[in-house]
Amino acid sequence: MHSTILIVCFAFLHHFGYGQSEQDAVAFGMAAQLVRDITPEQLEVMRNEQVVYIFDCNEADQHGWSHVPGSVLLVYDEVTEDKLPSDKTAILVFYCYSPECPAGAMAAKAAVALGHSNVYSMPAGIVGWEDAGLPTGP
């Protein structure tokens, strides 16, 4: 009798998503292993040689002052299928303000969790980009 009740309880909890956040956390952690770091200099070469989708995870006002040319503003916790290219093998690069800002890396992990396979994070951020003397967009 007790085992029947337990089975029913587990089935109920599974059906209504109990434990889903734990599964998501594991998937998100695994996604971190698939995100590759890229330097500003490497990104500059890459964006001049091939199609690269660059996402700025800074605040809108920061993006307005300075951003990597061609980058699109994308809030790190709003990474969804409709905001990313449909081609899951497209090159995606995410960045934030500086190495202390985790938003770019978090957005990159979210993209991997959505099935994208060619994902980079630029930890140096826009500060590192500017420090490297690379061109910025106004």
pLDDT tens, 38-93?
Answer: 999 999 999 999 999 999 999 999 999 999 999 999 999 999 999 999 999 999 99
pLDDT score of 10: 42
138 within a domain of the structure (yes/no): no
Mean pLDDT on 10-22: 43
**pTM, entire model:** 0.78
User: How many angstroms separate the first and last alpha carbons of the chain?
Assistant: 69
Same domain? 39 vs 72: yes
Same domain? 17 vs 43: no
37: number of Cβ within 10 Å: 12
Same domain? 7 vs 72: no
Instruction: Give residue 46's domain range.
Output: 35-131
pLDDT score of 29: 53
- In the predicted model, is pLDDT for residue 21 greater than 70? no
Between 18 and 93, whose confidence is greater? 93
Q: With contact defined as beta carbons under 8 Å apart, do 68 and 136 qualify? A: yes
Residue 72 makes CB contacts below 8 A (sequence gap 6+) with 53, 54, 55, 56
Sign of CA dihedral 53, 58, 64, 69: negative
How many domains are there within the chain? Answer: 2
Mean pLDDT of the chain: 84
Same domain? 65 vs 103: yes
